[in-house]
Structure 1
Amino acid sequence: MRISDVIAEGVQGADPAEIPGKLCVAAVRLLPVADASVSLRSNGMPVHLSASSPRAEHLSELQATLGDGPCTSAAKAGAAVLATDLTSGRDADRWPVFAQQATVAGIRAVYAMPLGNDTVCVGTLDLYRDVPGELTRREVRTAELVAGVMTVALTALPRGQENGPEGDDLWLSGLAKAHDEVYQAVGMIMVQLGVDSDEALARLRADAFADSRTALEVAHDVVWHVKRFDPD
């Protein structure tokens, strides 16, 4: 079956909100990978959007919480990052904490493809493999094609479809609202600790990782006064 046929079959009849996840599943069908996820680029940290499996969702959220990993590196560079062996060598040394956590989850390689164009990166398509290894040139081109379709899907999604007749926001508004809590929490932590925004975000991420939670979960607790950061 042709690549275009697999993609078309995968998204046929899907609601707009389902398309990113369907494309992740199509990527797994088309490539020698076990899982896939998609994240949007945002100031401060990536926003997890969808995934083909709970494991991929976990790894996507992990990178957002750590602020480190192939996904964040690809988003910053606006170029593909192909981490072919997280068990040892350069890739393991480049993202040591993520690499360790990924291998615990059974992932040995990650291929992060940027979404966008030559001037703007709007996010990444992350492909996870359970054995080390490189993608062939043809497989890289296939990954780039899926990333291109994902980019078109994200930029062409209709507005307001999930918000009822009065909906004026992007269908991603729920994600945006959740992510706004991160910025609110960072502001509150800045006041509580007397630090700048970078240090406040770092403390938020460190606390989330230490408690095996996502940064979004900890941010929610800070905003709703369930958690407070006190000076050491």
Structure 2
Amino acid sequence: MISDGMADVLRSLRHDDGSVLAAACARALEVDGVAVSLLVTTGQGAEPEPLWRSPGIAADFEELQFTLGVGPGLDAAHSGTAVVAPDLAAVRADRWPGLPAEALRIGVAGAYCFPLGMGAIRLGVLSVVTSRASDTVPEQRFADALALAAALTAQLLERDGNPSAAPESAAAVPGEIHRAVVHQATGMVSVQLDVSLADALLRMRAFAYSRDVPLGDVAGDVVARRLRFNDDMNGPMAPGGRKG
């Protein structure tokens, strides 16, 4: 059974904007942050694009997963099953390489990720993060998050079935890809290195991780031509031949 707080959230789902929804969901779930992303097909396959999210550690965790290309949110979105890690410090090192330690550094101790979709349909993912680790998944939190994921899925499917309908809430499909600069940069790096789009994205992710900067910042430098990837395996170059 869902909590009274989540019942209130579900009743207002169509009417509140993203920032209000994120805050209300976090309160109802008794967590520090909530994020919703949609799967958008790009040249690199289906990638999660942010729809709405709480500021702070929820946003930071989403960017961390995007930069590393691994994490519970990505697994949930692509597998269609819930992925829960109530204590990221207890996750084995090879499951999401680099992610647990970085997540703890930004204040995320536990994550609960629920797919948005039905059957073979994959729409996106609901991610819930907390700064407090737990040995088990709180039963009420799990039930409330499942109810929220089901409601968001129904709303997205309803909108897809009526494309001419005007967006009624923050859960409507976004009009633009928020991470378009990353996809543009991936194409540019693919040409610079004469590699596939997947390999180009991997090179950018590796560079971003090695420099401890968001992938979006690296992509912005590539698109602005402040950074160019060369093919000598020595890393990107800044204009004029300087190391990036």
TM-score bracket, normalised by the shorter chain, equals: 0.7 to 0.9
Deviation, 1:100, is 0.6
Deviation, 1:13, is 4.7
Matched, 1:7 2:5: no
1:160/1:207 CA distance change after superposition, 3 Å: farther
Aligned partners of 2:50, 2:127: CA distance in 1, in Å? 11
Please show how residues 1-232 of structure 1 align to structure 2 within 5 Å: 1=4, 3-9=6-12, 11=13, 13-14=15-16, 18-19=17-18, 21-42=19-40, 43=45, 45-90=47-92, 92-133=93-134, 134-156=136-158, 172-174=174-176, 176=177, 178-231=178-231, 232=233
1:153/1:108 CA distance change after superposition, 3 Å: same
Aligned length: 217
Q: Which moved more, 1:101-110 or 1:153-162?
A: 153-162
1:172 partner SS: coil
Whichever residue aligns with residue 189 of structure 2, its letter is: I
* Structure richer in strand, relative to its length: 2
Determine which structure has greater relative contact order: mean sequence separation of CA pairs < 8 Å that are 6+ residues apart, divided by chain length: 2
* Structure richer in helix, relative to its length: 1
1:45 partner SS: strand
Cα deviation digits, residues 85-129 of structure 1 (max 9, x gap): 111343x54124111111112221100000111211211111112
Deviation, 1:81, is 0.1
Residue identity over aligned pairs, in percent, reads: 33
2:87 partner SS: coil
Cα deviation digits, residues 65-95 of structure 1 (max 9, x gap): 11101011111211100112111343x5412
Whichever residue aligns with residue 76 of structure 2, its letter is: A
2:115 partner SS: strand
Cα deviation digits, residues 19-68 of structure 1 (max 9, x gap): 4x433323212223221111222325321222122221111011011110
